[in-house]
Amino acid sequence: MASLRAHLYDLTIRLAVKGRLGGTHDVYAIRRAFEGARFPTPAGVAFTPGEVGGVPGEWAEAEGAKTEGTGAKGVRPTLLYCHGGGFIACSAQLYRPVTGRFARAGFRVFTPDYRLAPEHPFPAAIEDCARVWATLAEAGPAVAAGDSAGGTLALTTIIEARRLGLTPPVAAALFSPATDLIGRSASFRTNGRRDAMFRPEALMRLVPAYLAGADPADPRASPIEADLSGFPPLLIHVGAREILRDDSLRLAEKAKAAGVPVELTVFPVVAHAWQLAESFLPEARRSLDEAALFLHRALKAVAHPEAEATA
């Protein structure tokens, strides 16, 4: 059952965002609408500008005492977080509510400020995330996560790691990823009214701005087209009312058919990118905390495979 706050948040997003996004063809107006959101930053987290693989971004790490998930030697595992924003907007700084909560759960989180379309169209963002991952992977086992377009980029990071011969993420947590930029998911039609943030036509306006003529069936654009065999374990969270709901359901079904361990949860009522409201929404805290536990379990399984086998 959804919380009362989830209903209130759904209404707020519907009134404040959906109309603004649905009525404009101006990509920069959409960018301003995305970036106008502001959420409280979690306390007890140090946010530090950084650069990984030549890509600028921001590190998030809990301050002070040892946090949950920190290893015996006090070393926190690394998480690559790819922020959302429709490939055209947002930043590491805007996503501090999400990365800060992961940091408090025991991760060192790096969020790249990857290049944005339309100034830097496909595959610029993918190249940036792959460069970051190539550097992080050299330091040992690490994990990945992302929401919306960032969930897409987390998936394409796995695809690129495989293509480039890099060690892939141990696991990935995906929040409402866009997996089919062709727009074939049934929820594009059935959830057009129910989605609190997007109308189908508004979401699909972002695709040409991002792809700039590239083939939407390229697996790096639409990961649903990828061969998912050998993928690491995936956690997928999506809202029941989202236009992107079936992008997640189809991904989960295909991944399971390929033998990939998948944990899928469909949350009632919540608006797209609800994890940003972790200071307000119990569903946001639940989603992020479950994702953190999932990623820690995957890292533990790699570090102590004998214990996991006998558990």
pLDDT attached to residue 72: 44
Q: Where are the domains of the chain?
A: 4-302
Tens digits of per-residue pLDDT, 221-250?
999 999 999 999 999 999 999 999 999 999
Question: Catalytic residue among 148, 176, 187, 222, which?
Answer: 148
Q: Provide the pairing of β-strand 45-52 with 55-62.
A: antiparallel
Question: Catalytic residue among 248, 272, 283, 296, which?
Answer: 272
DSSP symbols for the chain: ---HHHHHHHHHHIIIIIHHHHT---HHHHHHHHHT---PPPTTEEEEEEEETTEEEEEEEE-SS--TT--TTSPPPEEEEE--STTTS--TTTTHHHHHHHHHTT-EEEEE----TTTS-TTHHHHHHHHHHHHHHHTS-EEEEEETHHHHHHHHHHHHHHHHTPPPPS-EEEES----TT---THHHHTTTT-SS--HHHHHHHHHHHHTT--TTSTTT-GGGS--TTPPPEEEEEETT-TTHHHHHHHHHHHHHTT--EEEEEESSPPTTGGGGTTT-HHHHHHHHHHHHHHHHHHHHHH-HHHHHH-
pLDDT attached to residue 6: 97
Nearest CA to 34 among 148, 127, 131?
148
Query: CA-to-CA distance for 267 and 101, rounded, in angstroms?
Result: 19
Task: Answer yes or no: 263 catalytic.
Answer: no
Task: Answer yes or no: 296 catalytic.
Answer: no
Task: Answer yes or no: 63 catalytic.
Answer: no
Tens digits of per-residue pLDDT, 18-47?
877 766 778 888 888 888 778 999 999 999
Q: Which amino acid is at 236?
A: I
Question: Catalytic residue among 58, 127, 242, 283, which?
Answer: 242
Low-confidence residues of the chain: pLDDT under 50: 65-68, 72
- pTM for the model stands at 0.94
Topology classification of domain 4-302:
Rossmann fold (3.40.50)
Tens digits of per-residue pLDDT, 168-179?
999 999 999 999
Spatial contact of 151 and 158, defined as CB atoms under 8 Å apart = no
pLDDT attached to residue 73: 52
